[in-house]
């Protein structure tokens, strides 16, 4: 390791020997150790701490989160405390009708300062950075602030929720313990996904689960077998009505007045094993292919005398870039699936039952790997990548202000949230016009291919390939970061997809005037809009949220 690397990295150096032995940077070794420890500690919340007081459960989440932050970032971890402190003071003092706007502005300014500091002083020194957790914390504090600004019940905005009702109304400012435990909860602090306040409070303060109550489990399975997840209004012996639309938290066992009400949550063991296995597979794939398909080759495009610039055809360059970006995505699949397994192992992320009565543990899911890799259009890709960040963007940007600039607001906020590298803005500009263009083309072309099944299958194949090409073309600058190689990449391809997308904008509209987020919202409660790109740096930058 270089001297500059050790000089700057503030995290623990206890495992330097392991880093040297396996050849991974120390900060990534610390990240993996912290996440594995979190996976093991998460089980405490389902067993010994299941019936502990809410204050104690809050405290454990907070203490572990702070410990992980200090272990991975050393003195830089002060920032993950300062930002919540600053926003909590604003939460207490700012006018309620402006509280969301004020906290969004303040937190984005704080985050932007750290983005600029890293970009100017130590872009390439290390891979794990404090801006990653700060990006997650920014999402948490701003989503809560806008809920309080709206002064209404916090209808669930989690992109994976099966129900639009909420178990908890956020109609008052949380206590300091609640607020800091929520913002620094260890389960998703390191790499997301964002956990919204109602989901966190339901996890901490919701009805205590009882995994052995067979009667309750049978009742829940029967209720959940309804595809609409709705139950008819009825009354228990206590005379209390059961709501017609509810989440799994509302499925309370109807018992006598002197009996404890309980709900059954199935064991997440299978979901945890499945996600840990997927995470390991993604990590192995990344480590196997990262050197073979290195982004450093694409960076050579800025040198007109390099072999890449002189000899590679545009088609081969696009194929190589596709494989490079795929390898980068594997890193994020690994981190997100592992983080989701941590959530599930502590009992967070249960999303009811499917129509066959099988438990679903996808409420904290940030990525649908197969949905993204085999998306047939930009809308499907957007719906499958970084899903809870998409929900956050919808809540704080898309649904705020006039309808005319909704898409522009989403992409602008997402770009600013990521940082100031030029590659981000090239990607989001391309993504913006591709999103609108794809909607126009789909409205005009798709009806022509619905006459027969073979023709429709041919159309699906063409759109699958086209989407993969467009995704690669748009996201290469995001992982390259810098302006010169990004423009060289586009130049090698003659800016072809930009011109095609701009030309498609002149196609006649479908008359509905719906934006991409509106289309996503109408299609599924699980979708919203953001760029389907890695929320972090290039292949040697792990900043996931």
3 state DSSP class of 229 = coil
In this predicted model, what pLDDT tens digit does every residue of 313-334 receive, in sequence order? 999 999 999 999 999 999 999 9
- Asked whether residue 232 carries a pLDDT value surpassing 80, the answer given is no
Active-site annotation holds for 115: no
Active-site annotation holds for 418: yes
Of 156, 186, 205, which residue constitutes the final position of a domain?
A: 205
Same domain, 9 and 144: yes
Of 85, 257, 114, 239, the residue nearest 176 (C-alpha): 85
Same domain, 314 and 394: no
Residue 68, domain member (yes or no): yes
Task: Calculate the alpha carbon distances from 319 to 41, 315, 461 in Å.
Answer: 42, 6, 17
pLDDT average, residue stretch 535-543: 41
- Asked if residues 275 and 341 have their Cβ atoms less than 8 Å apart, the reply is yes
The residues, ordered by sequence, that sit 6+ positions from 57 with a Cβ below 8 Å of its Cβ are 45, 49, 204
- Asked whether residue 504 carries a pLDDT value surpassing 80, the answer given is yes
Angle, in degrees to the nearest 10, between helices 406-418 and 422-445: 150
Same domain, 216 and 309: no
Same domain, 255 and 273: no
- How many Å apart are CA 410 and CA 406, to the nearest integer? 6
- Asked if residues 195 and 157 have their Cβ atoms less than 8 Å apart, the reply is no
In this predicted model, what pLDDT tens digit does every residue of 72-96 receive, in sequence order? 999 999 999 999 999 999 999 999 8
- How many Å apart are CA 352 and CA 509, to the nearest integer? 39
What's the confidence (pLDDT) of residue 407?
Answer: 79
- How many Å apart are CA 245 and CA 228, to the nearest integer? 9
- Asked if residues 387 and 193 have their Cβ atoms less than 8 Å apart, the reply is yes
What's the confidence (pLDDT) of residue 518?
Answer: 45
- How many Å apart are CA 233 and CA 230, to the nearest integer? 9
- Give the residue carrying structure tokens 């932007």: 112
What's the confidence (pLDDT) of residue 124?
Answer: 52
Same domain, 230 and 297: no
Residue 176, domain member (yes or no): yes
- Asked if residues 119 and 535 have their Cβ atoms less than 8 Å apart, the reply is no
Residue 189, domain member (yes or no): yes
In this predicted model, what pLDDT tens digit does every residue of 266-290 receive, in sequence order? 899 999 999 999 999 999 999 999 9
What's the confidence (pLDDT) of residue 227?
Answer: 36
In this predicted model, what pLDDT tens digit does every residue of 404-428 receive, in sequence order? 788 788 888 999 999 999 999 999 9
Task: Calculate the alpha carbon distances from 502 to 265, 375, 436, 441, 505 in Å.
Answer: 50, 22, 9, 11, 5
Tell me, yes or no, if the pTM score tops 0.85: no
Q: At 524, give phi and psi (nearest 5°).
A: -160, 150
Report the percent of the chain where pLDDT is more than 90: 52
Same domain, 158 and 18: yes
- How many Å apart are CA 537 and CA 164, to the nearest integer? 34
What average pLDDT does the structure give for the chain?
80
What's the confidence (pLDDT) of residue 244?
Answer: 36
- How many Å apart are CA 345 and CA 194, to the nearest integer? 17
Residue 235 per-residue DSSP state: E
Same domain, 322 and 276: yes
Task: Calculate the alpha carbon distances from 325 to 222, 286, 473 in Å.
Answer: 44, 11, 10
Same domain, 83 and 181: yes
* CA angle (254, 257, 261) in 5-degree steps: 45
pLDDT average, residue stretch 341-370: 91
What's the confidence (pLDDT) of residue 401?
Answer: 77
Of 245, 264, 283, which residue constitutes the final position of a domain?
A: 264
What's the confidence (pLDDT) of residue 197?
Answer: 92
**Band of the pLDDT at 164, cuts 50, 70, 90?**
very low
Q: Which of 58, 418, 421, 498 is catalytic?
A: 418
Of 389, 248, 394, the residue nearest 332 (C-alpha): 389
Same domain, 164 and 189: yes
Domain count, the chain: 4
Q: Which of 344, 345, 386, 388 is catalytic?
A: 386
- Asked whether residue 511 carries a pLDDT value surpassing 50, the answer given is no
- How many Å apart are CA 509 and CA 542, to the nearest integer? 40
Residue 297, domain extent: 267-367
Same domain, 190 and 53: yes
Of 161, 243, 240, the residue nearest 198 (C-alpha): 161
Same domain, 279 and 227: no
The residues, ordered by sequence, that sit 6+ positions from 345 with a Cβ below 8 Å of its Cβ are 39, 42, 43, 46, 268, 272
Residue 380, domain member (yes or no): no
pLDDT average, residue stretch 226-245: 37
Residue 373, domain member (yes or no): no
Could you tell me which residue, 310 or 254, shows the higher pLDDT? 310
Same domain, 15 and 132: yes
């Amino acid at each position: 390791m270089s001297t500059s690397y050790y000089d700057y990295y503030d995290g623990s150096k206890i495992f330097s020997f392991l880093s040297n032995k396996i050849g991974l940077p120390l900060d990534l070794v610390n990240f993996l150790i912290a996440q594995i420890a979190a996976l093991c500690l998460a089980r405490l919340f389902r067993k010994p701490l299941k019936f502990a007081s809410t204050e104690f459960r809050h405290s454990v989440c907070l203490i572990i989160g702070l410990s992980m932050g200090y272990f991975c970032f050393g003195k830089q971890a002060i920032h993950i405390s300062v930002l919540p402190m600053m926003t909590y003071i604003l939460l207490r003092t700012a006018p309620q009708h402006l509280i969301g706007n004020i906290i969004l502005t303040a937190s984005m300014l704080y985050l932007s300062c750290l983005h600029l500091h890293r970009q100017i002083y130590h872009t390439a020194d290390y891979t794990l950075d404090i801006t990653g957790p700060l990006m997650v914390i920014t999402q948490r504090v701003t989503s809560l602030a806008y809920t309080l600004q709206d002064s209404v019940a916090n209808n669930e905005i989690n992109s994976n929720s099966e129900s639009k009702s909420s178990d908890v109304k956020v109609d008052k400012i949380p206590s300091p313990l609640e607020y800091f435990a929520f913002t620094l909860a260890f389960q998703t602090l390191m790499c997301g996904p964002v956990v919204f306040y109602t989901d966190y409070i339901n996890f901490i303060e919701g009805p205590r689960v009882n995994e052995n109550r067979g009667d309750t489990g049978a009742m829940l399975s029967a209720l959940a077998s309804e595809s609409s997840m709705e139950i008819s209004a009825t009354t228990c012996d206590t005379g209390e009505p059961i709501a017609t639309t509810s989440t799994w938290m509302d499925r309370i066992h109807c018992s006598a007045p002197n009996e404890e009400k309980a709900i059954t949550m199935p064991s997440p063991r299978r979901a945890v094993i499945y996600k840990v296995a997927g995470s390991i597979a993604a990590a192995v794939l990344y480590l196997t292919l990262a050197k073979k398909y290195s982004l450093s080759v694409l960076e050579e495009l800025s040198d007109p005398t390099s072999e890449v610039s002189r000899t590679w055809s545009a088609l081969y360059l696009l194929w190589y870039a596709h494989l490079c970006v795929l390898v980068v995505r594997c890193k994020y699949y690994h981190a997100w699936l592992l983080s989701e397994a941590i959530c599930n192992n502590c009992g967070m992320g249960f999303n009811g039952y499917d129509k066959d009565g099988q438990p679903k543990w996808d409420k904290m899911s940030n990525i649908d790997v197969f949905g993204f890799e085999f998306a047939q259009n930009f809308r499907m890709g957007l719906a499958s990548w970084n899903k809870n960040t998409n929900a956050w963007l919808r809540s704080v940007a898309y649904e705020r202000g006039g309808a005319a600039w909704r898409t522009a607001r989403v992409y602008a906020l997402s770009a600013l949230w990521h940082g100031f590298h030029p590659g981000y803005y090239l990607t989001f500009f391309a993504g913006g016009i591709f999103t609108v263009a794809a909607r126009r083309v789909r409205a005009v072309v798709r009806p022509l291919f619905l006459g027969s099944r073979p023709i429709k299958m041919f159309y699906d194949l063409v759109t699958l390939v086209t989407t993969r090409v467009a995704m690669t073309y748009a996201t290469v600058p995001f992982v390259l970061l810098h302006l010169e190689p990004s423009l060289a990449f586009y130049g090698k391809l003659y800016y072809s997809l930009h011109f095609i997308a701009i030309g498609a904008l002149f196609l006649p509209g479908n008359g509905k005037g719906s934006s991409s987020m509106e289309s996503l919202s109408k299609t599924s409660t699980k979708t919203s809009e953001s760029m389907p790109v890695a929320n972090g740096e290039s292949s040697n930058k792990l900043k996931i949220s």
